């Protein structure tokens, strides 16, 4: 009896069922007969239907197709999905829709390891709440009408999971909204109408430009809004673009090519690594466009109008006609052209004309020109320049209404570049320009100051500071407001940093509060917040980041003889020796340069600029050490400006962790008994 029971336990489960299918199929597929296993070509005939119920599993055969000439409905539920997959261990099988009259529906299905998960030409399909996992092509929807919403597309390889809408001359209408793709691009080709909204992608590091993007090839009408992508690209080489609006997207890159009319408007987007415009007529309005290697915007044979954008810089190629109205340009890095608007490649001749009106051009780095010599400024005026030796390059005179002043923009982490109440750019734009939304004369810059409804107070101090252990750190919070009262308070201060009381050394006013204290040993980098509140309870907040070192910090102007007793020293951010001055490093001095860079943390690579003279004279017994903080970074740590009036001198110095060691331009510098990274002595002269 025991042996009989044991044998029964190992018999196949009596309730297990599976259904093989081929040929004509229709009716209703249920869980009771699942899984359905394809053993030959299968077809849903015209005027017949197949309904796949929640929980059903369908296994397609190798190189086999389910062809739908009738009506197919596969609608699972959130709790009970339908699974449609290829044969085990293979990527194979496809669903081909060929009925032009019926609307096929897929909802809460999981498609995985298929050759073509859904493939049709000139059909109608609704695809919602589905998962597509490692298919060769998840969607190939050519022509017809498509509603594709809230689906998840996943691929382990960039060679899997294509998402194709349209092909050849099969015009179609596509609504693609709120989908997620981890790797593959959304591709639209020859589409008549596209609504592409709320989609997002995630790109692993090192993938190419076509990964995790949306591309629109020869489309006629496109509305693209609220997406978070790696890249958006338009190309209308072979078809006129009637209308395209690219609005309120966040992406790494954007490009527009071969758009022969003014049909495209890009507005309210955040573009983190640049915009490329080639052979195109476009309007770009109210965007934030950050820098890539060759400029935040690169123009090639382009005609463009830019208004109310925040830009870092711009590069032009060949022939361009550009109009910049009410933009704010800010330099955040050096470039070979030493300009905000420059030719690419640098020093190449370009045939470019620019109209500049009501723009702010602010130099926060060491560059010379706002507009590179050779780029013609044909009109405009009422621009505000700050920090440039020569705003217009070759042009010595300013345009009508131009000012050279600090625009008094809001600071912070990150900067938002709105105007403070004391900005000279308020009501200073071209009087013939349209009024600002508050009914006042146009302001200069991309953001107007709202005089009708009021603006929050503006904290106008720096947000980044550098300090060493046992040094005194002092920070004055200052705020500006057009109202009558201001309250300033601090949050997240370390215990040693306290608010100062008025001790008679200076007159305190209600818009200024100071904190100070001695930095304790072992203090790490820290951030505190400053909050200013006006009499209407509007607030401005400022996050202040303080970089702390176990060394004596050198930043800003440095001159004279360093005290070796306070060694080691570190150059943080930018330090410079002014023309006519000198900096002397006595024997035994250790000087570090913080060559680390962390954009997200607000840390910039540091360098020592020498406009005057630098004398580092050690002895054979007591060398001077010049070291990069990151010895693997191997970057330049000292930069000499042209100076033939004296001679800088290095004797018995040891260089550690630097790249080309020094950048010198027309200087007299002698190196005697200087040691390189390898410890070998070098004797060189750079006249």
Q: What pLDDT, in 10s, does the model give residues 135-148?
A: 999 999 988 899 99
| Maximum mean pLDDT: which of 106-115, 195-204, 336-345, 351-360 | 106-115
Lowest mean pLDDT among 196-200, 286-290, 411-415: 411-415
To the nearest 10°, the Cα dihedral for 515, 518, 521, 527? 10
pLDDT of amino acid 337: 62
134 φψ region: left (φ > 0), alpha (ψ -120 to 50), beta (else): left
| Maximum mean pLDDT: which of 352-366, 388-402, 548-562 | 548-562
Lowest mean pLDDT among 15-19, 205-209, 370-374, 455-459: 205-209
Question: Is residue 314 scored above 80 in pLDDT?
Answer: no
The CA distance from 457 to 469, in Å, is: 33
**Residue percentage of the chain with pLDDT more than 70:** 82
Across the range 17-37, mean pLDDT stands at 94
**pTM of the full structure:** 0.76
3-class SS string, 477-537 = EEEECCCCCEEEEEECCCCCCEECCCCCCCCCCCCEEEEEEECCCCCCCEEEEEEEEECCC
pLDDT in tens, 488-528: 888 899 999 988 875 443 333 346 788 899 999 989 999 99
Closest CA to 585 of 572, 571, 604: 571
Question: Is residue 247 scored above 90 in pLDDT?
Answer: yes
Closest CA to 375 of 389, 362, 392, 400: 392
Count CB-CB contacts under 10 A for residue 599: 9
Q: What is the DSSP string of 584-596?
A: EE-TT-EEEE---
Question: Is residue 638 scored above 70 in pLDDT?
Answer: yes
pLDDT in tens, 406-440: 898 876 545 678 888 888 999 999 999 999 999 99
Name the 3-class secondary structure at 474. Answer: strand
Question: Is residue 40 scored above 60 in pLDDT?
Answer: yes
Name the 3-class secondary structure at 325. Answer: strand
The CA distance from 592 to 118, in Å, is: 61
Q: Which CATH superfamily is domain 465-548 in?
A: Immunoglobulins (2.60.40.10)
The CA distance from 387 to 375, in Å, is: 20
Question: Is residue 116 scored above 50 in pLDDT?
Answer: yes
Question: Is residue 360 scored above 90 in pLDDT?
Answer: yes
The set of residues, in sequence order, having a beta carbon less than 8 Å from that of 557 and lying 6+ positions away, is: 575, 576, 577, 578
Across the range 614-623, mean pLDDT stands at 85
Specify the DSSP class assigned to residue 394: T
pLDDT of amino acid 600: 42
Q: Where are the domains of the chain?
A: 14-135, 465-548, 551-686
Across the range 652-675, mean pLDDT stands at 55
pLDDT of amino acid 609: 81
Across the range 647-667, mean pLDDT stands at 60
Lowest mean pLDDT among 107-111, 149-153, 598-602, 678-682: 678-682
What integer best gives the mean pLDDT of the chain?
82
Q: Residue 622 has which token pair?
A: 């007591």
- For residue 545, what pLDDT band results from cuts at 50, 70 and 90? confident
pLDDT of amino acid 11: 36
> Comparing 336 with 660, which gets the higher pLDDT?
336
């Amino acid at each position: 009896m025991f042996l009989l029971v044991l044998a029964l336990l190992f018999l196949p489960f009596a309730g297990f069922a599976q259904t093989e299918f081929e040929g004509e199929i229709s009716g209703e597929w249920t869980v009771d007969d699942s899984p359905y296993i394809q053993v030959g070509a299968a077809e849903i005939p015209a005027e017949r239907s197949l309904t796949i119920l929640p929980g059903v599993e369908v296994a397609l055969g190798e190189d086999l197709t389910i062809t739908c000439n009738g009506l197919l409905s596969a609608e699972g539920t959130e709790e009970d999905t339908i699974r449609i997959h290829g044969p085990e261990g293979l990527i194979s099988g496809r669903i081909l829709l060929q009925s032009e009259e019926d609307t096929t529906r897929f909802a809460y299905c999981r498609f995985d390891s298929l050759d073509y998960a859904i493939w049709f030409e000139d059909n109608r399909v609704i695809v919602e709440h589905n998962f597509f996992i490692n298919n060769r092509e998840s969607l190939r929807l050519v022509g017809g009408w498509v509603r594709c919403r809230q689906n998840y597309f996943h691929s382990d390889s960039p060679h899997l999971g294509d998402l194709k809408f349209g092909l050849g001359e099969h015009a179609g209408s596509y609504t693609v909204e709120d989908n997620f793709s981890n790797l593959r691009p959304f591709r639209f080709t020859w589409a008549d109408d596209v609504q592409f909204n709320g989609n997002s992608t995630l790109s692993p590091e090192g993938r190419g430009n076509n990964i995790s993007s949306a591309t629109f090839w020869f489309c006629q009408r496109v509305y693209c809004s609220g997406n978070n992508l790696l890249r958006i690209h338009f190309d209308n080489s072979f078809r006129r673009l009637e209308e395209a609006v690219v609005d309120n997207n966040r992406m790494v890159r954007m490009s527009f090519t071969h758009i022969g009319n003014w049909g495209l408007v890009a507005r309210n987007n955040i573009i983190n690594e640049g915009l490329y415009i080639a052979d195109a007529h476009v309007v770009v309005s109210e965007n934030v466009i950050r820098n890539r290697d060759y400029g935040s915007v690169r123009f090639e044979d382009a005609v463009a109008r830019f208004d109310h954008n925040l830009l870092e810089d711009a590069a032009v190629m060949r022939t361009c006609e550009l109009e910049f109205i009410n933009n704010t340009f800010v330099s955040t890095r050096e470039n070979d052209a030493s300009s905000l608007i420059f030719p690419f490649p640098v020093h190449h001749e370009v045939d470019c004309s620019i109209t500049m009106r009501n723009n702010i051009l602010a130099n926060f780095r060491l560059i010379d020109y706002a507009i590179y010599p050779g780029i013609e400024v044909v009109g405009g005026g009422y621009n505000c320049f700050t920090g440039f030796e020569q705003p217009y390059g070759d042009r010595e005179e300013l345009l009508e209404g131009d000012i050279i002043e600090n625009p008094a923009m809001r600071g912070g982490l990150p900067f938002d570049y709105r105007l403070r109440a004391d900005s000279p750019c308020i009501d200073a734009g071209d009087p013939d320009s349209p009024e600002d939304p508050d009914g006042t004369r146009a302001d200069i810059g991309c953001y107007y100051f709202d005089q009708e409804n009021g603006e929050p107070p503006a904290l106008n101090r720096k947000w980044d500071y550098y300090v060493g252990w046992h040094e005194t750190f002092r920070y004055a919070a200052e705020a500006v407001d057009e109202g009558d009262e201001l309250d300033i308070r601090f949050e997240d201060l370390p215990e040693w940093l306290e608010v100062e009381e008025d001790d008679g050394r200076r007159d305190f006013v209600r818009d200024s509060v100071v904190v100070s204290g001695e930095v304790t040993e072992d203090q790490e980098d820290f951030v505190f917040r400053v909050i200013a509140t006006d009499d209407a309870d509007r607030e401005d907040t400022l996050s202040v980041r303080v970089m702390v070192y176990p060394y004596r910090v050198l930043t800003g102007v440095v001159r004279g003889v360093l005290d070796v007793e306070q060694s080691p020293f570190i150059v943080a951010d930018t330090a410079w020796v002014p023309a006519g001055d000198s900096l002397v490093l006595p024997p035994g001095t250790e000087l570090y340069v913080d060559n680390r860079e962390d954009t997200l943390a607000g840390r910039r690579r540091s360098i020592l600029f020498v406009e005057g003279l630098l004398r580092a004279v050690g002895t054979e017994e007591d060398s001077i050490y010049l070291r990069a903080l990151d010895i693997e970074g191997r970057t330049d740590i000292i930069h000499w400006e042209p100076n033939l009036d004296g001679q800088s001198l290095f004797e018995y110095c040891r260089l550690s962790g630097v790249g080309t060691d020094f950048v010198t331009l027309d200087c007299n510098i002698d190196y005697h008994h200087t040691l390189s990274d390898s410890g070998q002595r070098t004797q060189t002269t750079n006249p």
